[in-house]
Amino acid sequence: MTIPFGPEYASLENTEFVPKYNASCFCGTVRYEVSGDPVDVKICHCLTCQKLHGAPMQWAAIFHKHHVRFTAGVESLIFYNSEQNRPERILPCKVRCSKCGTPIADEGRRMWLAFPSLFNFGHSAKVPDAFRPTCHLFYGNSVIEPHDNLPKWSGHKDHSKLL
C-alpha cells in the first residue's frame, strides 16, 4: 500500500513506527494506526460539525500526520471540502469511508483530527485519559449544555473569547 497523501504520513515500511492505538470505520474497510497520544482533544459545537456529523457536537483527538499510518482501505477514502462545497481533497477537508459512510477524520494542513469513537481501546473499552477533552469550541452554537468544568471558547481555543 502506498502512503495515501504524501510523506507527512507514516508508511508501512517505517520500522521505527510503533502503533499505540488503532482505529477503523464501521465496516472495517478503512483502518489506521497512530503512534502517540493526541496533541489535544476538543469538542466542537460549530454548525458545520453538527450538520456533517448529524450530532450536537464533534469529539476530535488531534494528531500530527507523521503519527498516522494507514493499514487498509486508502482506496476507499472520500473527501469533502466544506469551505468550497467540493468533494475533493482540498485541505482542510472531511474524510469518510466510501463503503459505509463513516466519518474517519478531519484532515488539516498539518494535523489529523481523528474521532475517538473509531478507536479500539481494548476489551474494557475505557477511554484513555489522553483522549479526554480539554475544552469546547464554538460553544455559542451548542444545542445541549454539557455539565463539565471544561473551558468553553466562542471560537478556536486561545484565538477567541473564553465564555
What is the mean predicted confidence (pLDDT) over 37-64? 95
For residue 25, what is its C-alpha cell?
470505520
Q: Looking at the domain assignment, is residue 116 inside a domain?
A: yes
Please check whether residue 5 lies inside any domain of the structure: no
State what percent of residues in the chain have pLDDT above 70.
96
* CATH number, domain with residue 89: 2.170.150.70
74 close to 2: Cβ distance less than 8 angstroms: yes
d(CA 50, CA 45): 7
Bridge partners of 85, per DSSP, are: none
In a domain, 4, yes or no: no
Q: What pLDDT shows up at residue 7?
A: 67
Do residues 99 and 27 lie in contact, with contact meaning Cβ atoms separated by under 8 Å?
Answer: yes
Residues 141-151, mean pLDDT to the nearest whole number: 93
- Mean pLDDT over 77-103 rounds to 95
Report the pLDDT value the prediction gives residue 114, as an integer from 0 to 100: 97
Q: Residue 40: beta bridge partners?
A: 62
Distances (CA, A) of 84 to 10, 57, 96: 28, 22, 17
Task: Please name the helix (run of DSSP H) or strand (run of DSSP E) that holds residue 137, with its range, or none.
Answer: strand 135-137
Q: CA 121, 25, 110: angle at the middle one, nearest 5?
A: 85
pLDDT of 13: 85
Is the predicted pLDDT of residue 3 greater than 50, yes or no?
A: no
Q: What is the structure's pLDDT at 8?
A: 82
The average pLDDT across 123-141 equals: 92
Indicate whether this model's pTM tops 0.85: yes
**According to the model, what pLDDT value does residue 115 have?**
96
Judge if the upstream peptide bond of residue 4 is cis by omega within 30 degrees of 0.
no
Q: Is residue 146 part of a domain?
A: no
Query: SS3 for 116?
Result: helix
Q: Check pLDDT > 50 for residue 135.
A: yes
Mean pLDDT for 121-129 is 84
Is 9 a member of any domain? no
Is 157 domain-assigned?
Answer: no
Instruction: Give domain status of residue 41, yes or no.
Output: yes
List the grid coordinates of 17: 513506527
pLDDT at site 2: 46
In a domain, 71, yes or no: yes
CA neighbor of 85 nearest in space, from 51, 132, 119, 62: 51
Which ranges constitute the DSSP H helices of the chain?
A: 47-53
**Sheet of 31-34: strands edge to edge?**
68-72, 31-34, 21-24, 119-120
Range of the domain at 84: 21-122+129-141
**What's the number of domains the chain is made of?**
1
Taking 70 as the threshold, does the pLDDT of residue 155 lie above it? Answer: yes
